[in-house]
Amino acid sequence: MSTSSNRLRHGVVAAAVVSAAMVLLTGCSKGPSKTQAFEAIQSGVKEDGSCTLPVDILSHVKMQYSTKGICVPKEGAEKAKTCIDALVAAGATKRMPDAYMLAWPDEVATASLSDIPAYERRARNLVYSGCVELAGELRDGRFGCAAVQAEKVLRVTALDDTHADVAYERKLTLKPSLTAIDTACGTVTRPPGEATVSFVKTDSTWGLASLAPAGDGGDGGAN
């Protein structure tokens, strides 16, 4: 092989190596560092430590949205009653006062007399075995069951030059009362041990998208 051919081949190889290195460096430059991301998550993300009740419990209670209550029917809802009792004992909600139980249910109170005549109207205490406050996110079957904190960043995924997703591990410290709730309600769904948040780069700085100014992609949050 001629000297000129060798030089040409070596030049092509060198160019390929340089090009690969540039691609690698470019890839590494996208997205926040794990340290940056972790600090932002610790200071800017409000962790959710909610558990979710089983669907069969929610299907056996009656939501009173107007007066912010949850009521358990007198018949066919024994498990739901036991579950609600456990939530009260755990401090996740509290019982409604006697005056509430003596009033008509929401769906009756808002109906006209032509739809539900007076002689057909019954107070809550005649229809339900008990009612509790529709506290927090109980309308969706969610209640606080754990203390949660970010543990470590697992991976940073760059979406483009100014947007990235960061997945991180969460440390869950479950409340002792959760064991009794599981027994009464059936196993509830725990908070996820991993979450993902969106980051956006503005003015050469990476930050949580949920905290970015409007127009800069500030619509992300923990998932």
Instruction: Determine the angle formed by the axes of helices 178-185 and 78-89, rounding to 10 degrees.
Output: 170
pLDDT score for 131: 98
**How confident is the model over 120-131, as pLDDT tens digits?**
899 999 999 999
pLDDT score for 221: 54
**How confident is the model over 59-100, as pLDDT tens digits?**
999 999 999 999 999 999 999 999 999 999 999 999 999 999
Q: What are residue 202's DSSP bridge partners?
A: 205
The end-to-end CA distance of the chain, in Å, is: 60
- Do residues 133 and 166 touch, judged by C-beta distance below 8 A? no
Residues 6+ apart with CB under 8 A from 216: 200, 202
pLDDT score for 115: 87
21: pLDDT confidence band, cut at 50, 70 and 90? very low
SS3 85: helix
**How confident is the model over 143-192, as pLDDT tens digits?**
999 999 999 999 999 999 999 999 999 999 999 999 999 999 999 999 99
d(CA 166, CA 196): 5
- Do residues 131 and 95 touch, judged by C-beta distance below 8 A? yes
Q: Is the pLDDT of residue 24 over 80?
A: no
**Which string of DSSP letters, residue by residue, matches 177-200?**
THHHHHHHH-PPBPPPSEEEEEEE
Of all residues in the chain, the percent with pLDDT exceeding 70 is 82
29 vs 133 pLDDT, higher one = 133
